[in-house]
Structure 1
Amino acid sequence: MSKERIYPDFILLNVGHAVHNADWNWKNICSPFARIHLVEDGTARIIREDKTYKLKKDHLYLTPSYINHGYECEGPLSLYYIHIYEEIGTRPGIFDLVDFPVEIEADPLIIQLIKRLAIINPDRELQYYDPGAYDNSPTLIKNIALHKTMPLAFEMEAQGIIKQVFSRFLAQASDKNLDIDERILRSLHYIHTNIDKLINVEDLTAKSFLTKDHFIRLFKKNMGCTPGKYINQKKIEKAQQIIMTRDLSIRDLAYSLGFENISYFNRLFKKITGMSPGSYKKQISLLLSA
């Protein structure tokens, strides 16, 4: 692991216990939040990046955000699930910097803690297990809004449990510096520390001392998307976070993230979230006042 300290801030979205019987079968799931599963009994499989992982009893499974994956279940299965959202900060997220194991064995303490997390958050259970029913912007907004209304004692306990669970994966993780080109790492840090400014691919190219075409190919190889798409995604995620915490006009919101063209910001926001920033802001207000 890198000597640089990483302190991710997670928001609990969902937690609960699920019992399936050959009905946990979904494909092409790619979410802005991470999933942790604790298998209680039964068998199933997680398919991720062309690899298949057979689920084992009393084992934990981590699926980071923005990882395309699916599930296959042909019989009885009972498990606990935790969905966590990493708040956007002024640095790359922990999943950008660290490679985590997919599977680890759960010790008795972690099993009890996960059960406790479900007990103190009964309102975070999924009503439907189809990812299409909960893996969307309105539900994400609602769950983040619920997080902000938690009693302080339960919020502190939930954060402690999440960090305990996550620490087990972190203990067996490895620094992505070995896999990500140093020039791309520098560009990621630049993007996150300048997320409130206009960021051009040309600026990143100049800082990496590469040609533009070479930089774009290298970035896509390391991050799975073009630098432009990554920048836009992180800016809109930051815009969503600002809407939930500050009362800004859409114009000021766009300017605060380096957008000079308000119409372009509106189109990009709707393309990524499925709704306009005005509608998003209105929905947030309704949820927080409910």
Structure 2
Amino acid sequence: MSLNIDDIHPQILNVGLARHMADWNWKNVNSSFARLYYIVEGTAKIVLPDGIHELIPGHMYFVPAFTEHSCICDSRFTHYYVHIYEDMNSSANLFEDWAFPVEIKAEGYEEELFARLCSINPDMNLAKSDPSTYDNNSTLIRNLSRSKHVPSYIRLETRGIILQLLASFFKHAVPKIDVKDDRIRNVIGYVRTHLAETINLDEIVDSLCLSKDYFIRLFKQETGVTPMKYINQKKIERAQLILATKDMSVKNVALFLGFEDFSYFNRVFKKATGVTPNDYRRRLMQDT
């Protein structure tokens, strides 16, 4: 699976150097942005769905967006952090398409890159490390707006540094879905760029000159899920991003994503996330 670098547009929400003394302890954190850490000194632990990872100096760590995790720290711990948001309007999505390793050993130059990020983005550090103070709807909207108003030369250098850091992880990344059939790959690309529409499966099938049953079997063989499940999955992921980063009503989010039946949108959202869209928004707003 290839990657079009020109379509990757990461934005930073926060960047800084954090020093802790047994006070980096947070439970059940689940954010709409990815986290990148470089450990300077001390140790801590992060609990991810695949197990417990010890954070050690000289290593970098990646926590994907929408990944529930907990942090454990019982001693001195110093680390750089970067919170990365990927533009939802991009035609490619690095974090969506590729599974990054959680941990990689740094090669010696990364600490300088993190320090430079902090130097050129002094207003993007966190006042507090408690996720509830920054991982909420109003703060995310404010941070996204702020990042877009940074001078162009700063944004350009920032983007270059972020891509350098991500490249270290990308060396070891593997495709989440390794689609070999060009027809299915094109359908996946079509779905991604038409999420804000009602996607008609019959029209897709007709354009491929395939029977509907054969297309569904082929799609599931290549991706592991049916076409409609994939479409709904991507729409709900987009809905989560919109609810977290835009001041749009839940009903308008449903309409924007092509759900003409609001009740159906609620059911699909709850099935995918475990909560209704309103409850999801409420959780984001409760600590503002």
TM class, shorter-chain normalised? 0.7 to 0.9
Q: Does 1:234 align with 2:233?
A: no
* Separation of aligned partners in 2, 1:50 and 1:252: 35
Structure 1 residues 90 and 146 mapped into 2: Cα distance closer, same or farther (>3 Å)? closer
Q: Is the 8 A contact 1:195 1:235 kept in 2?
A: no
Structure 1 residues 254 and 3 mapped into 2: Cα distance closer, same or farther (>3 Å)? closer
Q: Is the 8 A contact 1:13 1:83 kept in 2?
A: yes
- Structure 2 match to 1:31: 31
Residues 41-75 of structure 1 show CA distances to partners (whole Å, capped at 9, x for unaligned) of: 00111111141111111111011111111111111
* Separation of aligned partners in 2, 1:136 and 1:181: 39
- Structure 2 match to 1:5: 4
The alpha-carbon deviation at position 121 of structure 1 amounts to: 1.1
Structure 1 residues 171 and 198 mapped into 2: Cα distance closer, same or farther (>3 Å)? same
How many residue pairs align between the two structures?
265
Q: Is the 8 A contact 1:196 1:258 kept in 2?
A: yes
- Structure 1 match to 2:143: 143
* Separation of aligned partners in 2, 1:56 and 1:49: 19
Residues 7-60 of structure 1 show CA distances to partners (whole Å, capped at 9, x for unaligned) of: 421111000011111111112111110000010000111111141111111111
- Structure 2 match to 1:100: 100
Q: Within 5 Å, which residues of 2 pair with 1:76-225?
A: 76-89=76-89, 91=91, 93-178=93-178, 188-199=188-199, 206=212, 209-210=215-216, 218-219=224-225
Q: Does 1:45 align with 2:49?
A: no
- Structure 2 match to 1:21: 21
Residues 160-190 of structure 1 show CA distances to partners (whole Å, capped at 9, x for unaligned) of: 1111111111112122234x89899776534
- Structure 2 match to 1:71: 71
The alpha-carbon deviation at position 109 of structure 1 amounts to: 2.1
Structure 1 residues 251 and 51 mapped into 2: Cα distance closer, same or farther (>3 Å)? closer
Structure 1 residues 228 and 129 mapped into 2: Cα distance closer, same or farther (>3 Å)? same
Q: Within 5 Å, which residues of 2 pair with 1:275-290?
A: none
User: Unaligned stretches of 5+ in structure 2?
Assistant: 206-211, 270-275
Q: CA RMSD in A?
A: 3.9
The alpha-carbon deviation at position 258 of structure 1 amounts to: 2.8
Structure 1 residues 207 and 239 mapped into 2: Cα distance closer, same or farther (>3 Å)? farther
- Structure 2 match to 1:285: none
SS in 1 for 2:192: helix
Q: Within 5 Å, which residues of 2 pair with 1:265-276?
A: 270-274=278-282
TM-score by length of 1: 0.74
Structure 1 residues 105 and 236 mapped into 2: Cα distance closer, same or farther (>3 Å)? closer
The alpha-carbon deviation at position 134 of structure 1 amounts to: 0.9
TM-score by length of 2: 0.75
Structure 1 residues 185 and 235 mapped into 2: Cα distance closer, same or farther (>3 Å)? farther
Which is worse superposed, 266-275 or 159-168? 266-275
Identity of aligned residues (%): 33
The alpha-carbon deviation at position 154 of structure 1 amounts to: 1.1
Structure 1 residues 240 and 57 mapped into 2: Cα distance closer, same or farther (>3 Å)? closer
* Separation of aligned partners in 2, 1:64 and 1:227: 21
Residues 107-135 of structure 1 show CA distances to partners (whole Å, capped at 9, x for unaligned) of: 23221011010111111111111111111
What letter corresponds to residue 53 of structure 2 in structure 1? Y
* Separation of aligned partners in 2, 1:196 and 1:14: 28
SS in 2 for 1:108: coil
Structure 1 residues 24 and 252 mapped into 2: Cα distance closer, same or farther (>3 Å)? closer
Residues 250-269 of structure 1 show CA distances to partners (whole Å, capped at 9, x for unaligned) of: 99987654354689989986
- Structure 1 stretches (4+) deviating beyond 6 angstroms? 180-187, 200-205, 248-254, 261-269
